[in-house]
Amino acid sequence: MGTLGTEGFSVKLSESPQQKRNWPARAFTAVEDMVYLGLGVLLAGCSVALLVSGVINFGQNLIAGSLTTNIVPLLDRILLILLVVELLYTVQVSFREHGLIPEPFLLVGLIDAQLAQRFGQTITKVGVRGEC
């Protein structure tokens, strides 16, 4: 019903039905936070691994003198890293604000991934290399 208070000390007499309904929402929020935290850790690990691999690949191609012939795969790797970082940013914002706010670059990347999956790699190759 209410609280009984004396000089800063209060005792809860009964819990309202609204308060009883709030605990599942808090539990789901905690699970959501744990999932976002796990996704953030995985995405951060993937982006660091991709970056290190790209730097090593760049160095090897630079030393071998084959950088100009391998520039397209390097650009593909850079775009993939940017996409993963955008995903990581979206997870961060979702974790902080408890709402999904996708960025435009992320949406373009997801649309491209769906098109490439449905119609094959030709669309991606034409888009990156400019071939017809």
φ, ψ dihedrals at 38, nearest 5°: -60, -45
Taking the whole predicted model, whether its pTM rises above 0.85 is answered as no
> What pLDDT does residue 26 have?
84
29-74 pLDDT, tens digit per residue, is 888 889 888 989 999 999 999 999 999 999 999 999 988 888 888 9
Which of 18, 60, 13 is CA-nearest to residue 4?
Answer: 13
Residue 46 and residue 87 in contact, taking contact as beta carbons nearer than 8 Å: no
Summarised one tens digit per residue, pLDDT across range 70-106 is 888 898 899 889 888 988 888 888 777 766 666 665 6
Separation between Cα atoms, residue 79 and residue 112, nearest integer Å = 12
Give the pLDDT score at 125.
52
